[in-house]
Chains A and B, each alone.
Chain A
Amino acid sequence: MPLIPRLNSLWRNLFHKDRVDQEFNEEIQAYLDMLTEANIRQGLSPQEARRNALIEVGGVEQVQERVREIRMGQFIETAWRDIRFGVRALVHSPIFTIVTVLSLALGIGANTAIFSVVNGLLLRPLPYPESERIVDVWHTPPQQSFPGLDRFSVSPANYLDWKAQSSTFEQMAIYGYAGLSLSTSNDPLPLIGATVSSDFFSVLRTNAMQGRTFTPDEEQPGRDQVVVISQALWQRAFGANPNIIGQTVTLNSRSFTVVGIMPAGFALPREADLWVPLGWDDKERQTRSIHDYIVIARLKQNVSLQQAQAEMSTISTRLEQQYPEENSGWGAVVIPLHEDLVGDIRTALLVLFCAVGFVLLIACANVANLMLARGANRQKEIAVRIALGAGRARLIRQLLTESVLLAVTGGLLGLLLAVWGSRMLVRLGSLPNSGDIGIDTWALGFTLLVSFAAGIIIGIVPALQFTRTSLSETLKQGAGRTGGSPMKQHTRKALVISEVALSLVLLIGAGLMIRSFWKLQNVDPGFDTSNLLTMSVGLTPIRYSEPHQQLAFLDRVTEQIRAVPGVVSVGATTTIPLAGGGSTQPFSIEGRPTGTVAEQPMAQTRYISSDYFRAIGIPLRQGRFFSDQDRDNSVPVVIISEAMARRFWPGENPIGKRLTPSFHVKQGAREIVGVVGDVKTSGLDVDASAMMYLPYKQAPRPYMSFVVRTASNPESLVQPVSRAIYSIDKEQALTDVQTMDQVLMQSLSGRRFNMTLLLAFAGVALVLAAVGVYGVMNYTVTLRRRELGIRMALGAETRDVLRLVLRQGLTLTLIGVGAGLISAYALTRLMASLLYGVTATDYLTFASVSAVLIAVGLLASYVPARRATKVDPTIALRTE
């Protein structure tokens, strides 16, 4: 039976048993009836005729049972026979089996590993009930002040208005990040905390695993000293103490009562250790222009994202009119939480998924070629079987069983690879939500499906080819020349050409990533990154609420660090460049129209110590740095970046001009005393924006990061410098103690991850393609041995033979490269957002990668070509 009707029959037998049974019932009833009629015709009475017929049939049920058994058994039996035969055939040629199983294991394993990441991050829903209804609501900032930014955090007053006026949400809650340090008997433990409104947990529909979450009255200042901790923190810091609920812990020098433990996997915001109530006072509730919070909400049942978005747009417009001073230009955007959390990683993952799929396709093409080559040896066996009456479909099925067997074995082995691979991916990529990544049933199903598909792909071409051969042709062929019909040669060449084309696409993708990375690494960040140690301290409000306390801490710590041997200089700032974060504020320029706050221009703002620029190595362009004379009672001053000078004072000298940052209106206009070089702050791939620096001494902040320039390897100073800071106050937790090189590394980690993987895949593809070219050329030489022998007998030089074979290999490679260039041209634009400084169709990359591939193709043909020149004409001719 041909394959399709056979599958159809299996389907019916397995899943439509009732219909099959019913049909058989009809069949046997007809038999009974006809037999009865026949008996009547022979002269029996109707009753007797019927009775005789029933006796002859002998129990309809038993017959039906036997038929049923047979129908099922037959398919399984055939399959089992094919599998046994396949195993025997594979064991018979162990090298072939090992090579194919390994290459398929590599291909399938890589696919499963990437799939486990895609599944964990993109496909699987978040671990909250009905999580598809949870959304983030962000502000959209005015574009003239924040060009290119499409979402912005929210201010308390706007959130309260949104919550009161919206009707498309079941619930709306708000949270903010809070660095908290937990006092322990040793050094304080820096933790990632969130301040949350009391309904935060009910938006996520998640209750505490033990204890409770917050009540609405705990949002009141004074009653807010309660804390909910994560399961991970409970185990890490409290040894999973079962009596932790109700106990008191010290956070930022204040005591809090533990009221609940969240279940494992509850991680919003990402990697949060604990949650405390917001505790807004009246002043904070009315703050409209300081955007510090993130709003989450749960859509009402049957409300679409578009409806919610429409309503939020209406509310924002209303608020713009109501509070033009603070709100004009500020809109709102509703984004599904899942999309928000996954973010930019989507494109990268999809590109990697495509890449790894290509690798598998190349591996399949290679294996198919191997099978074709091996089939040449089996041609005889198959021809004999056809001669003995085996049907073509039956043989195809047998051959496919064999290739699926190979692929599934490869897949199982690949699964082991994938277990290891997905762990490595998580480590390498520091992926979000990494608890969800692993080999689960979905990944298993995926592997099985891919294995089957691979089995069919590698088996179908050889199977169709072998069974098409005419009997006489094969049997006629002598032992020396096994199977090399021109048809088969075409197929093998086509397979190799597609291998070359696919690997070219991968190589170009990897090449573009490498070029981007290289360009990024050569971007000047604007300061000296070598021998630089950085760390941050958030001062606890209870001891450092007063500005003079904050300044005293800054002074004493700076002094202590400077005294550490090996330290060259020390500076302090509010945010380390490239480490993420930073604040932006509006400002007005003296002598120009002020306008409302919403209309004012914006600039990134940093508060620094007077030694900061010298310590980090930001160059002075004009004017002067801050000095210790810029203090509380002296003239208010500010230093601006070149980008800010260019943007607001083009062609003018900004020194001596005055501006007023909106957070410091009380101190009046500040005089610009210096212009410094631009610094990359949000990332090496983001252009430096306008930046203004204010001296700590005139505008103290309760948080500071230190940059410590060291004489030698900064890592050796981590301990002494930490000691120096803790010697001032051992309750102020140090966070993010790392060298600038580590900061840089981290800012590039996403790109490094993509580049490394793509490069690895492209490398594997290149090797596979080279093996493919080698295999086909080697085979060609074997087939043409006689012709080459004659040529050499007729006086062809070694050089001529070499050229002849190389030309053929080159032709294959060139066609592959041509096809690959066209595909790459169409495909690489999908990864444009992952690139930096190169276009997706960068001709330099296209050209150099093509050159590499052509060289590899030539090299892979060279070995067979050398072999061709070693052909001994007498032997070659004699073997015929």
Chain B
Amino acid sequence: MAGRQVDLLQGTLDLLVLKSLALGPLHGLGVSHRIAQITKGTFKVKPGSLFPALHRMEESGWLQSSWGESENNRRAKYYRLTAAGRRQLETETQDWQRISFAITSALKAT
């Protein structure tokens, strides 16, 4: 069931990206740092998977991007959540909670 596994992982990444942007717009490196920060270093997202995810989510209408200045006066592309993105975050959060509850219960079962 390799397919489902990939789906799950992709879903996780999406959830993490959406969550990290929920507090405000960030550029690519910012997203990567924020994810590391909120997962307490469990996940470190590399550009090879981060950028495809960001662009896919932008095409899906969940994110919007614009060019802006970074903290060090560098031109960088910032991503922000759209209304659809917020709704998506809600759905995915609920889904994730259901899954994680189910898996945890399953593992606890004797």
Q: Which residues of A contact B (CB under 8 A)?
A: 1, 6, 9, 23-24, 26-28, 30-31, 33-35, 37-38, 56-59, 62-63, 66-67, 69-71, 74-75, 78, 388-389, 391, 393-394
Q: How far is the CB of B10 from chain A (nearest CB, A)?
A: 11
Given A31-B28, A394-B61, are A70 and B52 also a contact pair (CB < 8 Å)? yes
Of the stretches B1-9, B15-23, B85-93, B101-109, the one at the interface is B85-93
Chain A residues touching B, majority SS: helix
A26 vs B47: C-alpha distance when bound (angstroms): 14
Contact check, B48 vs A58: say whether CB atoms are below 8 A apart.
Answer: yes
Interface pair A71/B55, CB less than 8 Å apart: yes
12 contacts between A and B (CB under 8 A): A9-B59, A28-B47, A30-B75, A31-B76, A34-B29, A34-B72, A37-B72, A58-B47, A75-B59, A388-B91, A389-B90, A391-B87
Contact residue among A9, A28, A37, A393 (Cβ-Cβ distance under 8 Å from B51):
A28
Q: Is the CB of A31 within 8 A of B29?
A: yes
Which of B47, B59, B61, B90 lies in contact with A391, CB distance below 8 A? B61
Closest to B47 in A: A57
Q: Contact: B29 with A70, CB < 8 Å?
A: no
B60 contacts A74, C-beta separation under 8 Å: yes
Complex: how many Å from CA A24 to CA B52? 11
* Most chain B beta carbons < 10 A, residue from A1, A28, A75, A388: A1
How many Å lie between the Cα of A388 and that of B87 in the bound state?
9
Which positions 57-95 of chain B face chain A at CB distance < 8 Å?
A: 59-61, 70, 72, 74-77, 82-84, 87-88, 90-91
Bound-state Cα–Cα, A149 to B51, Å: 76
Contact (Cβ within 8 A) B59 A63 = no
Chain A residues with CB below 8 A from B29, complex form = 31, 34-35, 38
Indicate if the CB atoms of B72 and A63 lie closer than 8 Å: no
Chain B interface size range: 20 to 34
- Residues of B near A391 (CB, < 8 A) are 61, 83-84, 87
**Residues on the A chain within 8 Å of B98, using CB:** none
Point out the residue from B47, B52, B74, B82 that lies within 8 Å of A33, measured CB to CB. Answer: B74
Taking each of A34, A37, A63, A391, which has the highest tally of chain B beta carbons within 10 Å of its own beta carbon? A34
B40 on the A face (CB < 8 A): no
Residues of A within 8 A of B91 (CB): 388-389
The B1-57 residues at the A interface (CB cut-off 8 A) are: 27-29, 46-48, 51-52, 55-56
Bound-state CA distance A78–B60 (Å) is 9
Provide the bound-state CA to CA distance between A69 and B76, in Å.
22
Chain A neighbourhood of B83, CB < 8 A: 391
Residues of chain A within 8 A of B77, CB atoms compared: 23, 26-27, 30
Q: A389-B87, A389-B88 are in contact. Are A57 and B48 (CB under 8 A)?
A: yes
From the candidates A1, A38, A58, A71, name the one contacting B46 in the complex (CB within 8 A): A58
Q: How far is the CA of A801 from the CA of B27 in the complex (A)?
A: 68
Chain A residue with minimal CB distance to B70?
A34
**Is A56 a contact partner of B52 (Cβ separation < 8 A)?**
no
Collect the chain A residues with CB atoms within 8 Å of residue B76's CB: 27, 30-31, 34
A414 to chain B, nearest CB (A): 34
- Mark B residues whose CB is within 8 Å of A: 27-29, 46-48, 51-52, 55-56, 59-61, 70, 72, 74-77, 82-84, 87-88, 90-91
Chain A residues within an 8 Å CB radius of B90: 389
B51 to chain A, nearest CB (A): 5
Determine the chain A residues whose CB is within 8 A of the CB of B72 once the complex forms.
34, 37
CA distance A26 to B76 in the complex (A): 8
Residue from B59, B60, B76, B91 whose CB has the most chain A CB atoms within 10 Å: B59
A38 contacts which chain B residues (CB < 8 A)? 29
* Pair A66/B52 contact, Cβ less than 8 Å: yes
Closest approach, in angstroms, between the C-beta of A64 and any C-beta of chain B? 8
CB-defined contacts of A23 to chain B, threshold 8 Å: 77
Q: Which residues of B contact A394 (CB under 8 A)?
A: 61, 84
- For residue A812, give the distance in angstroms from its CB to the closest CB of chain B: 40
Query: Given the complex of chains A and B, what is the CA–CA distance between A74 and B56 in angstroms?
Result: 7
Inter-subunit contact B84/A63 (CB<8 Å):
no
In the complex formed, the residue of A with least CB distance to B62 is A1
A401, chain B: closest CB distance, angstroms:
16
Shortest beta-carbon distance, A649 to chain B, in Å? 88
- CB B33 to nearest CB in A, in angstroms, measures 8
Query: How many angstroms from the CA of A1 to the CA of B83 in the assembled complex?
Result: 10
Given A34-B74, A75-B59, A389-B90, does the pair A66, B51 have CB atoms closer than 8 Å? Answer: yes
Once the chains bind, are B59 and A71 in contact (CB under 8 Å)? yes
The answer to whether A27 and B28 have CB atoms under 8 Å apart is yes
| Closest partner residue, chain A, to B76 (CB atom) | A30
Q: Are B47 and A67 in contact (CB under 8 A)?
A: no
Residues of A within 8 A of B56 (CB): 70-71, 74
Q: Select from chain A the residue with minimum beta-carbon distance to B60.
A: A74
Expressed in whole angstroms, the minimum distance between the Cβ of A445 and any Cβ of chain B is 29
- Chain B contacts for A388, CB-based, 8 A: 91
Q: Is the CB of A63 within 8 A of B52?
A: yes
Given A9-B59, A56-B47, A69-B52, list of 6 further CB < 8 A pairs?
A: A26-B77, A31-B27, A34-B72, A57-B46, A62-B48, A63-B52
What is the CA–CA distance of A675 and B24 in the complex, to the nearest angstrom? Answer: 102
Nearest CB on A from B32, distance (A):
8
Expressed in whole angstroms, the minimum distance between the Cβ of A61 and any Cβ of chain B is 11
Instruction: Please give the distance in Å from B13's CB to the nearest CB on chain A.
Output: 13
Knowing A71-B59, A389-B88, A389-B91, say if A66 contacts B47 (CB, 8 Å).
Answer: no
- The verdict on A63 contacting B47 (CB below 8 Å), with A70-B52, A391-B84 known, is yes
Q: Which residues of A contact B82 (CB under 8 A)?
A: 1
**Does A67 lie within 8 Å of B70, measured CB to CB?**
no
Instruction: Report chain B residues within 8 Å CB of A34.
Output: 27, 29, 70, 72, 74, 76
Q: Are B61 and A63 in contact (CB under 8 A)?
A: no
Kindly list chain A residues whose C-beta atoms are within 8 Å of the C-beta of B51: 24, 27-28, 63, 66-67
Docked Cα-Cα span, A128 to B90, in Å, equals: 68
Identify B70's interface contact among A9, A30, A74, CB under 8 A.
Answer: A30
Bound-state CA distance A9–B70 (Å) is 25
